């Protein structure tokens, strides 16, 4: 899981900006090639057994490939997911994209509180009785670093 601070011209106008993205070890093409290779090997082995009379292997191999297809499809839909945390003036904005759907929530910087577990397993922002979990694409250590950075920038940090 990759998390880093954006360094761009737009980032210079904001006081704080952090973007976290999913760690995609394979590109879209890589996922397609991996699926095709697994498909060919699995169906090839199933066809070889079917020629020797064990034809019941074919439906199970097909079912296995169907489940694998849906897993790869899920990974592809979520490959571009990210989370953006930005502080500008009195506003703290959290934006996240999941499966192509963009969500955002804004907090008043002076009322927002940082809520973090000691081990870094959970990080959230709380304000006016509402809580938003953040850092979903980060490791525990990265969440703890983010919590420290946010506490330095939020006047009412808790």
* Final residue of a structural domain among 14, 44, 77: 77
Q: What are phi and psi of 132, to 5 degrees?
A: -130, 120
Question: Is residue 90 domain-shared with residue 140, that is, in the same domain?
Answer: yes
Residue-number span of the structural domain to which 140 is assigned: 2-23+80-153
Over the stretch 5-30, which tens digit does the pLDDT of each residue have?
Answer: 444 444 456 789 999 999 889 999 99
Question: Is residue 117 domain-shared with residue 101, that is, in the same domain?
Answer: yes
| Residue pair 146/136 in contact by the 8 Å Cβ criterion | no
- Closest CA relative to residue 82, chosen from 93, 97, 71, 69: 97
Question: Is residue 63 domain-shared with residue 117, that is, in the same domain?
Answer: no
pLDDT band at 33 (very low <50, low <70, confident <90, very high): very high
Question: Is residue 12 domain-shared with residue 41, that is, in the same domain?
Answer: no
Check residue 134 and give its pLDDT.
95
The 3-state DSSP class for residue 2 equals strand
| Residue pair 20/98 in contact by the 8 Å Cβ criterion | no
Question: Is residue 149 domain-shared with residue 86, that is, in the same domain?
Answer: yes
**Structural domain count, the chain:** 2
Is residue 158 included in any domain, yes or no?
no
Q: Is the pLDDT of residue 56 over 70?
A: yes
Sign of the alpha-carbon dihedral angle for 125, 108, 89, 22: positive
Question: Is residue 84 domain-shared with residue 127, that is, in the same domain?
Answer: yes
Q: What is the mean pLDDT of the chain?
A: 89
Over the stretch 122-141, which tens digit does the pLDDT of each residue have?
Answer: 999 999 889 999 999 999 99
Check residue 1 and give its pLDDT.
42
Q: What is the value of pTM for the model shown?
A: 0.74
| Residue pair 124/134 in contact by the 8 Å Cβ criterion | yes
CA 140/CA 124 separation, integer angstroms: 13
């Amino acid at each position: 899981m990759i998390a880093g601070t954006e360094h761009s011209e737009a980032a210079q106008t904001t006081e704080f900006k952090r973007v976290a993205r999913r760690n995609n070890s394979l590109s879209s093409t890589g996922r397609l090639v991996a699926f095709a290779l697994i498909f060919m090997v699995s169906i090839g082995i199933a066809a070889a057994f079917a020629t020797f009379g064990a034809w019941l292997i074919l439906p199970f191999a097909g079912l296995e490939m169907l489940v694998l297809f849906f897993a790869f499809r899920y990974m592809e839909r979520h490959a571009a997911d990210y989370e953006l945390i930005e502080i500008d003036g009195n506003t703290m904005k959290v934006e996240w994209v999941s499966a192509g759907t963009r969500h955002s929530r804004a907090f008043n910087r002076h009322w927002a509180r940082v809520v973090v577990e000691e081990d870094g397993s959970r990080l959230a922002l709380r304000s006016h009785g509402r809580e938003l979990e953040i850092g979903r694409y980060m490791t525990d250590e990265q969440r703890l670093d983010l919590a420290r950075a946010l506490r330095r920038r939020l006047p009412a940090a808790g």
